[in-house]
Structure 1
């Protein structure tokens, strides 16, 4: 599995970006959002139970991520047509503000090392990638437990301070770096 400090690998995948006829699909690469923070989150399968709760929650916080100059990219090994059908038929996914990437060849999932060994689908992995394309955070859950989107946002906030942040630090709180500067 790629980890903190590794470079996000090159990829080029179809994605669903809209339900508007003629504007549904777009190719997304590692450079599509160059210069921005990227939040890549993987889910196992469309038309399941835990996955839409996570996807919808990321959608609800899209503005919070955009305010931090970060682009959310949702990824599974389903095709762009399956993503489109799911968005069309699931009320919580109809108006998603971020692309749903179709890693149908499993190249991105495999290069990041997040394929479940028996099931062959993506684990619930989250990567925070900085504007230079360097992975700064990785978390991976087994298939049965969803992630905490607010924690992803909190972690991004901490990285963007470029300072030492203690356990449970929240945006707006004093960092350890500022405490040390005051003490020195």
Structure 2
């Protein structure tokens, strides 16, 4: 069953954020747009490139009213140690959520049970707490924050403009489509 349009399941976790350990629950993902980005593990190879890319684009996400949550099955203590020792991760200003019980990874269906690690899962959640985008990669394939930003803008546009949809490669300000009988077979 797809997670699209389902509500985020209840959870309790601890994140490393702005030099502190802070609680995070499903309630934190409501009331604004949220992006949850799962990655396999701290102190690895592709993961810091992705988290750094998100950090470099974080201001753009914030302008859209979006909070990012990085999540791995590491502890919040490991997140702090990584933040303190990696120049790339030191740039991260969004919460890094510890999921050592793998509750979140199971809730979002990205857990690799035999390894205790998460796949590279990206989830865009609307202010009502519903998952609007779900993308899962093999752990060898890194993601692009710029493309995620484009998809968030499209999700926000569709939410604000009922009856319109965003075509492939849609960018902010470009034409959208209004599905109707008149459009069938004409695209």
Please, what TM-score do these two structures have when normalized by structure 1?
0.90
Residues in 2 aligned to 1:177 and 1:148: alpha-carbon distance in whole angstroms: 28
Residues in 2 aligned to 1:107 and 1:171: alpha-carbon distance in whole angstroms: 35
- Could you say which residue in structure 2 is the equivalent of 1:7? 7
Instruction: Please tell me whether the aligned partners of residues 125 and 131 of structure 2 are also in contact (alpha carbons under 8 angstroms).
Output: yes
Say yes or no: does 1:137 pair with 2:122.
no
Residues in 2 aligned to 1:2 and 1:60: alpha-carbon distance in whole angstroms: 31
State the secondary structure of the residue aligned to 1:108. helix
- Could you say which residue in structure 2 is the equivalent of 1:172? 173
My pick for the range that moved more, 67-76 or 24-33, is 24-33
Instruction: Please tell me whether the aligned partners of residues 31 and 127 of structure 2 are also in contact (alpha carbons under 8 angstroms).
Output: yes
Say yes or no: does 1:104 pair with 2:104.
no
Runs of 4+ in structure 1 over 4 Å off: none
Structure 2: runs of 5 or more not aligned: 159-163, 183-187
Instruction: Please tell me whether the aligned partners of residues 40 and 74 of structure 1 are also in contact (alpha carbons under 8 angstroms).
Output: yes
Say yes or no: does 1:18 pair with 2:18.
yes
- Could you say which residue in structure 2 is the equivalent of 1:128? 124
Residues in 1 aligned to 2:119 and 2:29: alpha-carbon distance in whole angstroms: 24
Instruction: Report the alpha carbon displacement of residue 2 of structure 1 after superposing the two structures with TM.
Output: 5.1
Residues in 1 aligned to 2:29 and 2:133: alpha-carbon distance in whole angstroms: 18
Residues in 2 aligned to 1:118 and 1:171: alpha-carbon distance in whole angstroms: 41
Instruction: Report the alpha carbon displacement of residue 32 of structure 1 after superposing the two structures with TM.
Output: 2.0
- Could you say which residue in structure 2 is the equivalent of 1:156? 152
Instruction: Please tell me whether the aligned partners of residues 2 and 113 of structure 1 are also in contact (alpha carbons under 8 angstroms).
Output: no
| Residue 74 of structure 1, aligned match among 65, 70, 74 | 70
- Between the two proteins, the alignment pairs up a number of residues equal to 176
CA deviation string 1:90-123 (max 9, x = no partner): 0011131100000111111111110124322000
Instruction: Please tell me whether the aligned partners of residues 165 and 177 of structure 1 are also in contact (alpha carbons under 8 angstroms).
Output: no
Residues in 1 aligned to 2:142 and 2:113: alpha-carbon distance in whole angstroms: 19
| Residue 47 of structure 1, aligned match among 37, 43, 48 | 43
- Could you say which residue in structure 1 is the equivalent of 2:161? none
Structure 1: runs of 5 or more not aligned: none
Query: Structure 1 residues 2, 78: closer, same or farther in 2, change over 3 A?
Result: farther
Residues in 2 aligned to 1:61 and 1:9: alpha-carbon distance in whole angstroms: 27
